[in-house]
Amino acid sequence: MVPPECGDIIRPMPEHLPRVWPVSFEGVSKSFDGAAAVSELDLRLPPGELFGLIGPNGAGKTTTIKMAVGLVRPSRGRVMICGYDAQGEGREARRQLGYVPDTAALYDRLTGSEMLQLAADLHGVPLELRRRREQALVEAFNLGPDLGQLVLSYSRGMRQKLAICAALLHDPQVIFLDEPTVGLDPSGARELKLLLRGLCRSGRTVFLSTHALEVAAALCDRVGIFHRGQLAALGTVAELESRWRPGGASGSALEDAFMAVTGAPEGEPAELVAALRA
């Protein structure tokens, strides 16, 4: 059930939508200057799933998201968004999705309110619906007092909140977020988590990448571990725990699976490993 206070943000999915995978990676690969960034990715996300992609720096997580939102063209394979090819039918695919990059792409010389107006205009959101959704989103992230200020004056956390609001204004069916909690204070991170879970309960699909293993463990229905451009592990946290958690290991189950799949650098001091676990 959608909480009453979120009714203007989270709405039931329209029943006329085609019964297709909201997100489908079909044999997707991407190389840069002959070096493989992503290799033969096959992955499908059902409606209502909150999927988390984790992996070391340079594993290919951001490249994967950029291919899904149409910013990077796959070398092979294709990405389908709600039945539309992200490259061949880019305009239709982009209407179905919202995207929040790891560094918020905002216009510094606009006010927060003008930035949201621009986002709504780009997606053709009707004025009355725009007002209702903007009010609900702004209240959820406590941005109201700052909407009249130039984005140039915003902190990183405020920029992140504004980018999330802009990405959700047109009521997308699929939401991609690259490191969404970076820069958010605890209150903002909590509001985002509640909002994402509410979106998934209403039938939307969320794909996020994160370095915060505790976020993925607490929030995601399934988790994929990316390593050297490949999806090395996939499943629920419980499934990953049952497969990879060593007997008597300390730390979280997802951390154990992550370390087992990606491995620690050779020769790393035991003291450093202990410090990182703490």
pLDDT over 50 (residue 1): no
Q: Tell me how far CA of residue 266 lies from CA of 229, 248, 269, 273, in angstroms.
A: 20, 22, 9, 11
- Mean per-residue pLDDT, 33-45: 95
Taking Cα atoms as reference points, which of 184, 119, 108, 106 lies closest to residue 149? 108
Under the banding of pLDDT at 50, 70 and 90, the label for residue 183 is confident
pLDDT over 90 (residue 60): yes
Q: Domain 4-105+174-235: which topology?
A: Rossmann fold (3.40.50)
pLDDT over 80 (residue 87): yes
Q: pLDDT exceeding 70 applies to what percent of the chain?
A: 84
Give the pLDDT of residue 48: 95
Burial class (CB in 10 A: 0-12, 13-18, 19+), 12: exposed
Give the pLDDT of residue 267: 45
Q: Which of 97-106, 107-116, 190-199 has the highest mean pLDDT?
A: 107-116
| Residue boundaries of the structural domains of the chain | 4-105+174-235, 236-278
pLDDT over 80 (residue 117): yes
C-alpha 192/C-alpha 188 separation (Å) is 6
Q: Model-level pTM? A: 0.84
Q: Each residue of 227-270: pLDDT tens digit?
A: 999 999 999 988 887 776 655 454 567 777 788 787 755 445 55
Give the pLDDT of residue 11: 53
- Crossing angle, helix 156-168 and helix 186-201, to 10 degrees? 10
Q: Which of 18-22, 96-100, 233-237, 269-273 has the highest mean pLDDT?
A: 96-100
| β-strand pairing of 23-32 with 35-45 | antiparallel
Mean pLDDT, all residues of the chain: 86
Give the pLDDT of residue 17: 47
Give the pLDDT of residue 43: 97
Burial class (CB in 10 A: 0-12, 13-18, 19+), 247: exposed
